[in-house]
Amino acid sequence: MTRGSGRGGSSAAPRSVDVARLAGVSQKTVSRVFNDEQYVSAEVRRRVLEAAEELGYRRNNAARALASGRTRSIGVVTLGTALYGPASLLMGVERALRDTGYALRVVNTMEGDPAGITGAVDSLLDQGVDGIVISEPIDERGADGADALRVGVPVLVLGAPSPVAAPTVLTAGDGADLMARAATEHLLELGHLTVHHLAGPQRWYAARDRLEGWRTTLAAHGRDVPPVVEGDWSAASGYAAGRELAADTAVTAVFAANDDMAIGLIRALTEAGRRVPRDVSVVGFDDVPVAAYVTPPLTTVPQPFDAVAQEGLKRLVHTIENPEADPLPASDPPVDLVVRSSTAPPPHRTTPGRGRRATAPSRAAAPAPPPANGGHPTPR
C-alpha cells in the first residue's frame, strides 16, 4: 500500500510530512505550528504556513483523533421535529459551539422510535464524541430506571433531568416552572379568579414543568386548580381542546403550554363565539415569530434558547477540558413575559357565580397592549 499509485503523482491529499519536506523542517514542527504550540520561531512558523498554503494542506482529523484520543466533536440528541422550541435550541447549540472549536454531530430521536434516546446516545458514542448534549428528552422505558445507559463522556441535558448515567451530568434550561408562574400570575393580576391550563404532552419534562409552575402558582394564591386539558403541542390539539373549553363559560383565562396550541385554542374559542380577550384571555409559551401577528396578537412567554444553549455548552466544554475540576455552576435563565392583546381583565360576571374577587389583585386593569408588532422589531 505505497500511497499514490507508484509514480510520484500529486493525486492524494498532502500530509504533514510533505509540508515538512517543503519547508525544510521536521514533521513534528509542522504539527507544532498547526497546534499553536509555543517554541516555534516566527521564521520557521512562516515557512511552514507558506508551504502548507502552497500544498493546500489540511490536517487529517481522523489521525488526530486517533493519536490524541479526542475527537473534538460534541454530539447532540434532538427530537426529529421542526417544532419551534427544539429547533431553536438546536440552532442555539450550534451557534454556541462554533466559538469553542468543537464540531457538531446530530442525531434525532423520533418519538415512538424503539431505540429512543438510548439508541441515539449510543450511536453518538459509536461515532465518537467528547461530550453529549441531550435536548429536551421525553420519558421512555428505563429513562431513570436501573437500565439507564452508562455513558463515558460528560453529558449536558437541556430542560430535563438526565435520562442517562454519566461521570458528569450537567443540566440547563430547566426554569420552565418559573416562566409558567409568570404567565399564570399575569392572568391572576388581570383579575381572573383562576386560570385553566392547556398542557403539553406529559411525557415531556418541559410540559410537566410548565404544568407544575402553573399549579403551584394557583395554589400559592389560594385559587381553584381546574382540571388540566392535555394537548400534543400542535395547533390541531389546541383547537380540539378549545372546543371543550369553549363549552364551559366559567373559563375566563387559559395558559397554553406553547404558542401553537394557543393559536389553535383561540381559533376554536372564536368559532364558538367566545371572543379573545374579551370573554377569554389566553397566554401562550415560546413567543414564536408569528405570535405578534396572529389575531389577536398573543401574550406569551419567550424562551431564552440562545442563553440556555450558550451557558450549557460553556459548562460542558469546561468539564470536557477540565475533567478533574469542579463543574461550572449553573445560573438561572431570565424570566420574561410579552404582553400583547390576547389577555384582558375577565368579563363582568352576569351570573352571581361563586366568584367574589377573593384575593383580587390590586392591578386589575390590563396593561396597555403594545402595537401589533409588540416585542418584534421589524427587521429591515
Partner DNA sequence: TTGAAAGCGCTAACAG
Partner DNA sequence: CTGTTAGCGCTTTCAA
* From the list DNA, a copy of itself, none, partner contacted by residue 25 (C-beta under 5 to 8 A by kind): DNA
* From the list a copy of itself, DNA, none, partner contacted by residue 331 (C-beta under 5 to 8 A by kind): none
Near a copy of itself in 287-306, by CB under 8 A: 289-290, 292-295, 297
- From the list 15-23, 107-115, 309-317, 362-370, the region that binds a copy of itself by CB under 8 A is 107-115
Can you give the three-state secondary structure of the chain, one letter per residue? CCCCCCCCCCCCCCCHHHHHHHHCCCHHHHHHHHCCCCCCCHHHHHHHHHHHHHHCCCCCHHHHHHHHCCCCEEEEEEECCCCHHHHHHHHHHHHHHCCCCCEEEEEEECCCCCCHHHHHHHHHHHHCCCEEEEECCECCCCCCCCCCCECCCCEEEECCCCCCECCCEEEECCCHHHHHHHHHHHHHHCCCCCCEEEECCCCEHHHHHHHHHHHHHHHHCCCCCCCCEECCCCHHHHHHHHHHHHHCCCCCEEEECCHHHHHHHHHHHHHCCCCCCCCCEEEEEECCHHHHCCCCCCEEEECCHHHHHHHHHHHHHHHHHCCCCCCCCCCCCCCCCECCCCCCCCCCCCCCCCCCCCCCCCCCCCCCCCCCCCCCCCCC
- From the list 84-92, 170-178, 207-215, 354-362, the region that binds a copy of itself by CB under 8 A is 84-92
* From the list a copy of itself, DNA, none, partner contacted by residue 2 (C-beta under 5 to 8 A by kind): DNA
Q: With binding defined as CB under 8 A, does residue 205 bind a copy of itself?
A: no
Q: Among 260, 279, 287, 311, which residue sits at the site for a copy of itself (rule: CB under 8 A)? A: 260
Near DNA in 18-47, by CB under 7 A: 25-29, 31-32, 34-35, 38-41, 43-44
* From the list a copy of itself, DNA, none, partner contacted by residue 94 (C-beta under 5 to 8 A by kind): a copy of itself
Near a copy of itself in 325-364, by CB under 8 A: none
Number of residues that bind a copy of itself (CB under 8 A): 66
Other CB atoms within a 10 A radius of the CB of residue 282 amount to 29
CB closer to a copy of itself out of 193 and 280: 280
Selection from 88, 100, 152, 160 nearest residue 121 by Cα: 152
Q: With binding defined as CB under 7 A, does residue 67 bind DNA?
A: yes
Q: With binding defined as CB under 7 A, does residue 11 bind DNA?
A: no
* From the list a copy of itself, DNA, none, partner contacted by residue 380 (C-beta under 5 to 8 A by kind): a copy of itself
* From the list DNA, a copy of itself, none, partner contacted by residue 125 (C-beta under 5 to 8 A by kind): a copy of itself
Q: With binding defined as CB under 8 A, does residue 31 bind a copy of itself?
A: no
**Closest separation between CB of residue 2 and DNA, Å?**
6
CB closer to a copy of itself out of 31 and 270: 270
* Contact positions vs a copy of itself (CB under 8 A): 13, 58-66, 71, 73, 80-84, 87-88, 90-91, 94-95, 98, 103-108, 110, 123, 125-128, 152, 232, 234-240, 260, 263-264, 267-268, 270-271, 289-290, 292-295, 297, 372-373, 376-380
